[in-house]
Amino acid sequence: MVNNNLQQKDAGRHPEAVANKYTIRGMTIVILVLCIMLIGNLLGWFPFDTKLFVVSTTVSVTFYGIGCLVFAKMDLKSDWVKYVLIFWVFAITTVITTTLTFHAYLVMLLPIIYCSMYSSKRVMVYAYLLTVVNILITVYVGYYYGLCDCNMVLLSGLPLSEYLDAAGNFTLTEVNDRTWWTLPLYFVLPRSVICLGF
């Protein structure tokens, strides 16, 4: 018992262990906010598809719970734990951004934000590559199964006034039929470049 307490105190001073604990705490806050948003959705505060929101929250909370159980048994001072943690963050954020699409795009930056707590450049590259994979999954799977992102469907590229007629009706009705070309060029590439800046 005494030896276990000493190990926990020692782990608390280790820079990797501290960063790992902050990553877990950060994801706890993300999950709490997601649950609060689900409650708000169920109460009618947000105009999101309830089924998608329930799926997003259920899968994210499940991944979060499994991760917490696994990390409770790990030595947070181990060098490889940060890679597992960043992958865990990637898995949860990919679920959220794929289902909630444009309402949750900023969540995809969390692996990059959390990796900034570590001194390793490898972790930064790893987090960036996972973020690009997140973007690919979110754009393609989210296009067909997530909340509808009208920017992807209608490919608007002008100010709103250009798409309104004299009566104030929206006139852009042509659906994107070249998703194999437009999605990577207009959505995957720009977001990947922006994340590279981060």
Cα gap 45→22, rounded to integer Å: 31
pLDDT of residue 2: 42
pLDDT of residue 10: 46
pLDDT digits (tens, 9 = 90+) for 8-31: 554 446 888 999 999 999 999 999
**Does the pLDDT value for residue 6 go beyond 70?**
no
The model carries a pTM of 0.88
Cα gap 53→35, rounded to integer Å: 10
Beta bridge partners, 170, equal: 164
**Does the pLDDT value for residue 198 go beyond 50?**
yes
Cα gap 76→110, rounded to integer Å: 20
Cα gap 12→77, rounded to integer Å: 9
The mean pLDDT value for 36-59 works out to 93
Cα gap 164→161, rounded to integer Å: 5
**Does the pLDDT value for residue 89 go beyond 70?**
yes
**Does the pLDDT value for residue 78 go beyond 50?**
yes
pLDDT of residue 14: 81
pLDDT band at 46 (very low <50, low <70, confident <90, very high): confident
pLDDT digits (tens, 9 = 90+) for 95-135: 999 999 999 999 999 999 999 999 889 999 999 999 999 99
